[in-house]
A = this chain, B = another copy of it.
Amino acid sequence: MSQPKILIQLDSDPQASTFDGVVAVDAGVEHLFRHQAVGPDAVQDLVYGAMFTRGVEDLRNTAVFVGGSNVAAGEALLKKVRECFFGPMRVSVMLDANGANTTAAAAVLAAARHVDLKNAKALVLAATGPVGSRAVRLLAREGASVRVASRGLARAEATCVSIREAVDGATLTAVATDTPESLRAAVADVNVVIAAGAAGVELLSDEDRRSCATLVTAIDLNAVPPVGLAGIEVTDKAVVRDGVACYGAIGVGGTKMKIHKAAIRRLFESNDLVLDAEEIFEIGRELEG
């Protein structure tokens, strides 16, 4: 007898995300166990309940999704989930707290439609946050030379250190973007700009963006006006502005959503997957065809 697909949603927020719930259902999940206000201490019992109820050959029909708006909290939950597993006793698990993994994957895939990332120079603005640092990781892994920008140089350098540990041979440069001059220098001669800043903060002026003659594509992940890259609309999807292929948050959103659904479906193909930034990016790449 084929067993129903069960997804255990672990959410660190006081109310479990309906967004993640709807996507799970639309990806074919038959029973969704939604858990909210989940802290690290609660993980073991919840994951053991998934591991010890079905036979090993059926564990592919049970999976775990880690969400919530706090990415660091989600990472802590994922770590605890993985610590529960031993030998073949495991279930597949996906991390997409605050949509960080699917968003970063969709942004880098958008860039890859326009430039050969292996030979590209990229600038990631607000690169020290969860989405920005994931975009850097994915770009570096593809062979791009990446400028890791933050208002403070120390934070940018810390992000570089942690990404170098994760990605062998990453070509990263920490840059501070705390003055108009440093910002203009950061954007000089890059082919890709990705802005991963907080809602409503402009990170690059229209003029500064146009000052970069080598720019091929510009991707803004902020959905709340003012956008991070001035002059881009949130609905832009490969809209050419001043010769640059522009994407806004909603323009990237369709790809993000497809990746999210495909990743959920993938969870139920085997019981041993851990879908974090890189694995989710690979799923997105397969969708690009």
* Chain A residues within 8 Å of B, Cβ to Cβ: 3-4, 6, 8, 13-23, 25-26, 31-35, 37-38, 42, 45-50, 52-54, 62, 69, 257
Do A49 and B18 touch (CB < 8 A)?
yes
Give Cα distance in the complex from A14 to B46, angstroms.
Answer: 11
A4-B25, A6-B22 given as contacts; is B15 within 8 A of A45 (CB)? yes
Give the number of copies in the complex: 3
With A32-B31, A33-B34: A22-B50 Cβ-Cβ less than 8 Å: yes
Q: Name 16 interchain pairs, CB-CB below 8 A, sorted by A.
A: A3-B26, A4-B25, A6-B21, A6-B22, A6-B25, A13-B45, A16-B35, A17-B45, A18-B46, A18-B47, A18-B50, A21-B31, A21-B49, A22-B49, A32-B33, A45-B69
B3, B22, B53: the one contacting A19 at CB < 8 Å is: B53
Q: How far is the CA of A203 from the CA of B137 in the complex (A)?
A: 53
A117 to B125, CA, bound (A): 67
Instruction: Collect the chain B residues with CB atoms within 8 Å of residue A49's CB.
Output: 17-22
Is there contact, CB below 8 Å, between B35 and A48? no
Are the C-beta atoms of A25 and B31 separated by less than 8 Å?
yes
Determine if A22 and B257 form an interchain contact, defined as CB atoms under 8 angstroms apart: no
Question: Which of A8, A14, A26 has the most chain B CB within a 10 Å cutoff?
Answer: A26
> In the complex, which residues of chain B have a beta carbon less than 8 angstroms from the beta carbon of A52?
19
Chain B residues in 8 Å Cβ range of A54: 22, 26
Taking CB atoms, residues of chain B closer than 8 Å to A48 are 19
Give every chain B residue within 8 A of A21 (Cβ-Cβ).
Answer: 6, 31, 33, 49
Cα-based distance from A255 to B31 in the complex (angstroms): 25
Note all chain B residues with C-beta closer than 8 A to A13. Answer: 45
A50: which B residues are within 8 A, CB to CB?
Answer: 18, 22
